[in-house]
Amino acid sequence: MNTNSKGTETRAASVRTTSFDVAALAGVSQSAVSRAFTPGSSIKETTRQKILDAARKLNYVPNSIASSLTTNRSNMVAIILGSLENPFYVHVLHAFSQDLQRKGRQTLTFTLGEGMGTDEAILRVLQYQVDAVILTSAQLSTRMINLCHDRGIPVILFNRYIPHSGAYGVRCDNVGGGRMIADAFLAAGAASFMMITGDPNGTTSQDRVRGFVERLLEAGVRRDAILDYPGRSSYDGGAAAIDMHAETGKPFPDAVFGIADIMAMGAMDTLRIRYGKRIPEDIMVAGFDGIPESARPTYQLTTVSQPMAQMVAETIELLHLDDAIKPLDLIQDHPLPGEMIWGATVPRR
């Protein structure tokens, strides 16, 4: 059971300093020590600093796990991520992690993949008694949402929604953004179109496609002048979509809409390098998301930027982390408008 601090050790817990030891050294009450380590508690900063100094001297660390049994709060928020191949979700993860840490919470990360679907992830999430679940992936059964809600764990969908599920979330106006891109192409004189789409089960891709196609049809474009190819929400998928079209032997359309920036970037590189196309002279390209990568000088992609910081802040607000009593209204659904970013890949007017 002995441990040493150099090389080898066993996993047994050693005897621990208690909050009473820290209180004695700092000259405060035990409850003040407890407050000093509870996110959002009211305590004077000088007192908190005195307690932290004493804790440091005594190597004291509060046991969040034990206290979560009495408070029913683990101070962990689960974030369930699909692929990280789309940098948008890397930026999302980073923003949530930083914002939650600032609020004294930690991020328990679940990445979907073989052997871990969303429902499996939610079952695991429940085992860890997280305070809330942020879900950025497409699928989630209504049964699983109910299982979380029955335990008082809010599920917030980030940048998607599940119709008739009782769970909505914070998202960008994807339909409206799709229409903006259609308008930009039309104003630039495009008459034939190609979409590179993402997850066919995800509302994000569906809504962007819907807005784009609706607007084109309204403007008199024929449905058969709008091609679509799957792009798997990745750079490689965007590149492969261009190859797929080239293999049909048909000419390239006037304009390509990558449903996510990362797919538009893959398409641009392939159009230029493999097919010798100039952008926008020979073919226009636009994306959606506004990731920093798409603004790099090689791309300067025309795109619709999602208000990510605002979406992250609103999601965290919806969680009511500091207010466990307040009932959560989880049937919110208020898409935030995206912003048109004019790069160099679509001629302006």
Q: CB-wise, 92 or 180, nearer to a second copy?
A: 92
Task: Specify the stretch interacting with a second copy by CB under 8 A; choose among 217-225, 278-286, 309-317, 324-332.
Answer: 324-332
Longest dimension (CA), the chain: 81
In the region spanning residues 207 to 236, those forming contacts with a second copy, defined by CB under 8 A, are 235
Q: Does 128 bind a second copy (CB under 8 A)?
A: yes
Euclidean distance between CA atoms 80 and 294, whole angstroms: 25
The residue range among 41-49, 121-129, 172-180, 219-227 that interacts with a second copy, by the rule CB under 8 A, is 121-129
Least separation, in Å, of the C-beta of 45 and a second copy? 14
Query: According to CB under 8 A, which residues from 137 to 156 bind a second copy?
Result: 145-147, 149-152, 154
SS3 category, 119: helix
Dist. CA 256–CA 103, nearest whole Å: 42
Of residues 23 and 79, the one with the C-beta less far from a second copy: 79
Residue 127 binds a second copy (CB under 8 A): yes
Taking residues 153 to 182 in sequence order and writing x for each that binds a second copy by CB under 8 A, - otherwise, the string is -x-----------x----------------
Residue 99 or 214: the one with the smaller Cβ distance to a second copy is: 99
3-state class (DSSP) for residue 336 = strand
Verify binding: residue 136, a second copy, rule CB under 8 A. Answer: no
For a second copy, the closer of residues 5 and 42 by Cβ is 5
CB 118 within 8 A of CB 126: no
Give dist(CA 268, CA 253) in Å, integer: 14
Residues 231-290 that bind a second copy (CB under 8 A): 235, 269-270, 273-274
Identify the H or E element spanning 169. Answer: strand 169-170
Cβ 330 vs Cβ 166: under 8 Å: yes
Residues 296-315 close enough to bind a second copy by CB under 8 A:
296-298
The residue (of 201 and 298) whose beta carbon lies closer to a second copy is 298
**103 class by beta-carbon count within 10 Å (0-12 exposed, 13-18 middle, 19+ buried):** middle
Residue 318's nearest CA partner among 109, 96, 118 is 96
Q: Cα 55 vs. chain centroid, distance in angstroms?
A: 36
The pair phi, psi for residue 331, each rounded to 5°, is -105, 30
| Residue from 328, 336, 340, 344 binding a second copy (CB under 8 A) | 328
* Spatial distance between the Cα atoms of 202 and 231, rounded to a whole number of angstroms: 13
Between 104 and 347, name the residue whose CB sits nearer to a second copy. Answer: 104
Is residue 109 involved in binding a second copy (CB under 8 A)?
yes
**Which stretches within the chain are classed as H helix?**
19-26, 30-36, 45-57, 64-71, 87-102, 118-127, 142-150, 174-187, 203-218, 235-247, 261-273, 308-318
Tell me the helices (H) and strands (E) count for the chain, helix number first. Answer: 12, 11
Q: Is 191 in the site for a second copy (CB under 8 A)?
A: no
Q: Which of 44, 57, 102, 334 binds a second copy (CB under 8 A)?
A: 102
- In this chain, which of 45, 115, 247, 349 binds a second copy, going by CB under 8 A? 115
Subset of residues 9 to 68 that bind a second copy, contact rule: CB under 8 A: 9-14, 37, 59, 61-66, 68
- Choose one: 109-117, 223-231, 302-310, 337-345; the region binding a second copy (CB under 8 A): 109-117
